[in-house]
Structure 1
Amino acid sequence: MQEQANQSGQPENDNGAAQNSTDQVKRDFSGLLESLKTFFAELLDIRSNTDQDTTIQHIKDDIPFKGHNSWILICSIFIASVGLNANSPAVVIGAMLISPLMGPILGMGMSIAINDVDTLRRSVKNFLVMVGLSILTAFLFFRFFPLRDESSELLARTAPDIRDVLIAFFGGLALVIARAKKGTIASVIFGVAIATALMPPLCTVGFGLAIGNWDYASGAMYLFLINTIFIGLATFLVLKILRFPMVRYVNSARRRMISRIASLIAIIVMVPAGYTFFNVWKESRFRNDARKFIHTVVAPYQFSKGGMFLENLSEINYGKDGDSSIELVFMGDEAIPENVINTWKNQKESEYPVLRDAKLRIVQGGQSDSEQKYNYVHELYESSKKELVNNETKLRLLEEEVERLQKLTYNVDFSSLSKEAGVLYEGVESFGFSNEIRTDFSKTDTIPAFTVSWKENVSQAQRKKEFDKLKEWLVLKTGNDKLEVKELN
């Protein structure tokens, strides 16, 4: 009987052990989660080591723009302008480090976060004066400086994209967090000054105004406003998260009014920031997909008669109102078939939804004369300055173009050929050579053309005999029976 009782109780004991094991696993897992939560809370906590009063005072001290700060700003403008003009990143970085522009921007973000209208007024006033002085100084520099080349450092500040928004926002976060820490981290402040690059865009605005290029000026100003808005927004958010104390006013009605004004300004800043981020993100998506479309769909196309796709001259144009286009440039006598173009359009619309409304333009240039071909190197360089960021790239592109032009030209060793002609044909007084490029409007060909003039004492009969022999000799030497020989006298 006892054995029977033990056997009947065995399942109950097993179930109890299993339940205890499950409960233990749950407790262990819960403990692990609590440990991880505590670890990350301590790792990421910045409130416990924040000096609120000192942070507010330091930001306020950096707002004023007078005396030393004004001269430091002027010097940094000149340094940045020279660095951009000379295409020297090291000089531009130096100008970023000494620029005092960051002070008023932090002041605006802080004053909105803590409802300090007096500090906001001072920050805005000093900010506008600094920006105006920066643009004026850069304009005067580039207006009267004799060297005004469009360097890659300048052009890089004329077309902001989504990366500039992210750099400005996270740079602003790093800067405010470093400012709020007890014992400010100076290295972070210097790093943010380099990363966000407030001074170079303002100098580029001055450059654009000096040369009358409004696209450069507006693009650079757009980049500067992106940096300003998102650094200010990051300051506002961090100080709110750290619960910086609000400025108290004795008059309750004034306190409520100031609070409403600060909230309204915060909304006014955040809405354009979000709109700007969205627009830049859309443009970045469009350009990325357009480049992918060109590389994967258009570039692999194979010509059968020597045409070529000029990717460096092709343009991607983004229009905010839907007026976007992709312009593809081709050179050569071979035209792109209509069915191939239609296939590209169908692939663009089906495989790249972002490009669906973009117009696809095909520019096909023939090679009808020598001037067009030999001037193409210059055209390529002028149209591709944004792509040519260093001397190696320039050299590679020019070498490729020289190789292409050499294929269009019939080369002879004229020095050796002329010496032989002078020895074999005593009646020849002068001897010349040139390449003649001809077309019958269906194809273009290069014809080697030789010229010969005779000495005065050579008779007409001797001239004809020598001329026939000379032509046969040239055909034999060059291996080209299409060559022409012309008499000059």
Structure 2
Amino acid sequence: MENNLNQDNITPTSNEGSGGEEVKKDFQGLLGSIKKFLSELLDIRTNTDQQATKEAIIADIPFKGHTSWILICSIFIASIGLNANSTAVVIGAMLISPLMGPILGIGMSVAINDIDTLKRSLKNFAVMVVLSVITAYLFFRFFPLRDESSELLARTAPDIRDVLIAFFGGLALVIARAKKGTIASVIFGVAIATALMPPLCTVGFGLAIGNWSYATGALYLFTINTIFIALATFLVIKLLRFPMVRYVNSQRRRLISRLASLLAILVMIPAGITFYSVFQKSLFMRDAGSFIDEKIVPYQFTGEGKFLKDFSEIVYSDKDNSKIELVFMGNETIPDNVIATWENQMQEYQQLKGIDLVVVQGSKSDEANELKYVNELYESQKSILSNKDERIKFLETELLRLNQISSNQIPFNEISLEAKTNYENLERMGYAYLISTDFNKTDSIPLFEVTWKKDANRSETVKDMTKLQEWLRLRLNNKNIQIKEMPKD
């Protein structure tokens, strides 16, 4: 009985141990199968033609003959498309642009220590960029239609998505180039996605109209695309283990290897800094937009007041000068306690802590600010106006509305009492904006109308008119103020 019991106790233990080992082996086999499947699925080395890839990239680097004319044509097509706000035309310009060749050459030459190819790539790339900007500048400088289309403005403010598009687009392009039997559709798709030509044309447009912010923003976008496409090329070439270029002189080989490594590091550092900076800006813009939509837009006015979201400005700066400027129009002002509440609510958003909140209110802002916002309104609407007459009519309507708002801006009661105290012959005083046009431009002039007493001496009133005008200009800090003498009753 004891032997039987012992056997009964031992047998289950043996079965459990063997069963655990079998499960472990099955699990390891499953992991091995998954690893093998993923390796076969994602491996790109086995189907890579290194020599053909290298020759194809080097063949696209030179800039002369046919390539130069193709570039010039693509510049004009892109400029016309941006000017006409035609997405289809802009895409066509991207497809025929040869700008991608030297960028791939830069990335590959650094990866394989090919100093001669690097020199050719940099030289041809520089010539292409300069020629593109000059050609676009000349087009927009002398072409009569230079409206700021949405296609143009879209290339002036890069964000984190542009960085990711450039990097992954560069990866896709080099992988497609490396495959035996190049995938042409991928190359065309990357040319469209990374959009190298439109930003350069926008640089020329910014220079042509004298808007440096447009030019620098577009150049920044082009630089981002260039750096991250070259970086992606460098990484893929390294991953595919392309053979390094060998030099007979061992000392020269070591020097070139060090220079190539240094250049790779120098490219990666600004790439990392750019990625971080653009990423931080994207987070800030997201939180600022959420703050405005969630806290400001729902605010209810009790009287005549309006929040102008389109004119409100979100300014991001790396030097702690970021701010959110909210613009309100109308006679109703925002109470100080409400503004204080908004400032406290900003602390709920991670990226808005310590950011300045500027509230511009119609009844409190000065004349310069009012005119600024009317001008911005006109600029934002002019693309939908069909001709100059409609533009003039639209602007006159907005200036009339501004005149009604600005009538409350100047402390007229105080000014009139002070004027009466200083000029005893003054009988009546009025104030309004005079809107005039010479049919080329429309001006808004602050005008005071004065009436002198009937028994006032004419020579004295003439002198008082001059003094009063100078006093009003000084008192209101406005050199454009005019005075008109009204006839006596």
Calculate the TM-score normalised by the size of structure 2.
0.76
Q: Does 1:362 align with 2:366?
A: no
Within 5 Å, which residues of 2 pair with 1:196-207? 196-207=194-205
Which aligned pairs between 1:291-370 and structure 2 lie closer than 5 A?
291-349=289-347, 351-366=348-363
Give 2:18's aligned residue.
20
Contact 2:363/2:405, CA 8 A, preserved across alignment: no
SS at match of 2:254: helix
Q: Which residue of 1 aligns with 2:446?
A: none
Alignment of 1:456-475 (within 5 A): none
Contact 2:110 2:264 in 1 (8 A): yes
Give me the whole-angstrom Cα distance separating, in 2, the residues matched to 1:217 and 1:198.
14
Contact 1:97 1:194 in 2 (8 A): yes
SS of 2:300's equivalent in the other structure is coil
Q: Is the 8 A contact 2:362 2:405 kept in 1?
A: no
Question: Deviation at 1:353?
Answer: 2.3
* TM-align CA RMSD: 2.9
Could you say which residue in structure 2 is the equivalent of 1:93? Answer: 91
Residue 78 (structure 1) aligned with residue 76 (structure 2): yes
How many residues align? The count is 397
**Structure 1 position 357, deviation (Å):** 2.6
Q: Which whole-Å CA distance do the structure 2 matches of 1:437 and 1:235 have between them?
A: 58
Alpha-carbon separation, structure 1, partners of 2:406 and 2:254: 83
- Matched to 1:305, the amino acid is G
Deviations 1:124-182 (A, max 9, x none): 00000000000000000000000000000000000000000000000000000000000
Q: Give the Cα–Cα distance (whole angstroms) in 1 for the partners of residues 373 and 178 of structure 2.
A: 57
Match of 1:177 among 162, 175, 178: 175
Q: Matched residues in 2 for 1:119 and 1:133: separation? A: 21
Are the structure 2 counterparts of residues 379 and 126 from structure 1 closer, same or farther at C-alpha, using a change threshold of 3 Å?
closer
Secondary structure, counterpart of 1:328 in structure 2: strand
Query: What is the letter of the counterpart of residue 105 of structure 2?
Result: G
Tell me how far apart the structure 1 counterparts of residues 290 and 272 of structure 2 sit (CA, whole Å): 27
Alignment map for 1:41-440 (pairs within 5 Å): 41-349=39-347, 351-366=348-363, 379-383=376-380
| Deviation string, structure 1 residues 22-68 (Cα, Å, up to 9, x no partner) | 11111111111100000000000000000000000000000000000
Distance 1:315 1:174 in 2: 37
Letter in 2 for 1:326: I
Q: Report if aligned partners of 2:363, 2:406 keep a CA contact under 8 Å in 1.
A: no
| Deviation (angstroms), 1:382 | 2.2
Code of the residue aligned with 2:155 in structure 1: it is: R
Change in CA separation of 1:153 and 1:39 when aligned onto 2, cut-off 3 Å: same
Q: Which has the larger radius of gyration?
A: 1
Partner of 2:463: none
Q: How big is the shift at 1:439?
A: 7.7
3-state SS of paired residue (2:299): coil
Q: Residues of 1 paired with 2:104 and 2:67: CA distance?
A: 16
The one-letter code sitting in structure 2 at the alignment partner of 1:362 is V
CA distance in 2, matches of 1:131, 1:257: 29
Classify the secondary structure of the residue corresponding to 2:171: helix
Q: Which residue of the partner structure matches residue 485 of structure 1?
A: none
Give unmatched runs, 5+ long, in structure 2. Answer: 386-393, 411-489
Q: Deviations over 1:62-91 (max 9, x none)?
A: 000000000000000000000000000000
1:365-419 CA-partner distances (Å, limit 9, x unpaired): 1399xxx99998875352578xx9x99xxxxxxxxx9xxx9xx9xxxxxxxxxxx
Aligned-partner Cα distance in 1 for 2:164–2:204: 25
Aligned AA for 2:356?
K
The Cα of 1:308 is off from its aligned counterpart by 1.8
Q: Say if 2:112 and 2:245, in contact at 8 Å, map to a contact too.
A: yes
Contact kept, 8 Å, 1:324 with 1:357, in 2: the verdict is no
Q: How far has the Cα of 1:7 moved from its partner? A: 2.8
3-state SS in 1 of match to 2:208: helix
1:384 & 1:127 partners in 2: Cα distance? 38
Aligned partner of 2:448 in structure 1 is: none
> Aligned AA for 2:341?
T
> In structure 2, the residue corresponding to 1:330 is in which secondary structure?
strand
Distance in 2 of aligned mates of 1:288 and 1:189? 32
| Residue type at the aligned position of 2:377 | L
State whether residues 367 and 373 of structure 1, in contact with CA within 8 Å, keep that contact through their aligned partners in structure 2: no
In 1, Cα distance between equivalents of 2:226 and 2:211: 23
Whole-angstrom distance in 2 between the partners of 1:38 and 1:438: 75
Q: What CA distance in whole angstroms lies between the structure 1 residues aligned with 2:260 and 2:86?
A: 41
Task: From the superposition, tell whether residues 102 and 296 of structure 1 become closer, same or farther in structure 2 (CA, over 3 Å).
Answer: same
Q: 1:82 to 1:68 in 2, by over 3 A?
A: same
CA distance in 2, matches of 1:335, 1:237: 57
Superimposed CA distance per residue, residues 425-451 of structure 1 (whole angstroms, 9 cap, x where no aligned partner): xxxxxxxxxxx9998889xxxxxxxxx
CA distance in 1, matches of 2:352, 2:40: 47
Q: Match of 1:413?
A: none
CA 1:40–1:29 in 2, change beyond 3 Å: closer, same or farther? same
Deviation digits for residues 446-473 of structure 1 (CA, Å, limit 9, x no counterpart): xxxxxxxxxxxxxxxxxxxxxxxxxxxx
Counterpart AA for 1:250: V
Q: CA deviation at 1:201?
A: 0.3
2:424 maps to none
Cα 1:131–1:304 shift into 2, 3 Å = same
CA distance in 1, matches of 2:223, 2:40: 36
Letter matched to residue 61 of structure 1: A
Give the C-alpha shift of residue 17 in structure 1: 1.5
| Structure 1 Cα separation of the partners of residues 279 and 201 of structure 2 | 25
Q: Is the 8 A contact 1:312 1:384 kept in 2?
A: no
TM-score by length of 1: 0.76
Residue 31 of structure 2 is matched in structure 1 by 33
Q: Distance in 2 between matches of 1:100 and 1:257?
A: 32
Q: CA–CA distance in 2 between the matches of 1:54 and 1:240?
A: 16
Deviation string 1:327-360 (CA, Å, 9 cap, x unpaired) is 01112222111111111111112x1121113210
CA contact (8 A) 1:84 1:200 kept: yes
Q: In the alignment, is the contact (CA less than 8 A) between 2:63 and 2:128 conserved in 1?
A: yes
Query: In terms of mean alpha carbon deviation, does 287-296 or 17-26 score higher?
Result: 17-26
Relative distance call for 1:348 and 1:20 in structure 2 (3 A) is same
Give yes or no for contact 1:112–1:120 (8 Å, CA) kept in 2: yes
Aligned residues of 1:313 and 1:384 also touching (Cα < 8 A): no
